[in-house]
Amino acid sequence: MKDMRTPRARVRGLGAARSGTTHFWHERLTAVALVPLVIGFIVILLSLLGRNHAATLQILGSPLVAIVMLLFVLTGAYHMKLGMQVIIEDYVHDEGLKLALLIANVFFAAAAGLAGVWAILKISFGV
């Protein structure tokens, strides 16, 4: 198989392997960001135990809680997309199926993230 890169790109090491480091660091960064966000999410959920519907909406409607929840949902959706991408790339060997699953992964993560954001904003703004 012929290498499509220029000699200069081969010497500089630019190619498909170069983007793998970015993906690796995004996975690690979102994992570290999720640690305090999961703790905050659990604290928020525990504070909702035993409360009625109106009190729950009041707590979830506060700006600080809404921001924590939005960060949790968006970071979690992106982290999920990155993790599933690695699994698909590593374990699916049929190229057509791999491409279809990678596309489905992006759409699923976007849909899950947008659904979470919509729900949080709806509660926060009382729409």
Question: The whole model's pTM is what?
Answer: 0.82
Is the pLDDT reported for residue 84 higher than 60? yes
Q: What is the pLDDT of residue 12?
A: 67
Q: What average pLDDT does this structure show over 10-30?
A: 75
Residues 6+ apart with CB under 8 A from 51: 59
Residue ranges of E strands in the chain: none
Structurally, at CATH architecture level, domain 19-125 sits in Up-down Bundle (1.20)
More confident residue, 5 or 65: 65
Contact in structure between 69 and 60 (CB atoms under 8 Å): yes
Q: Is the model's pLDDT at 20 over the cut of 80?
A: no
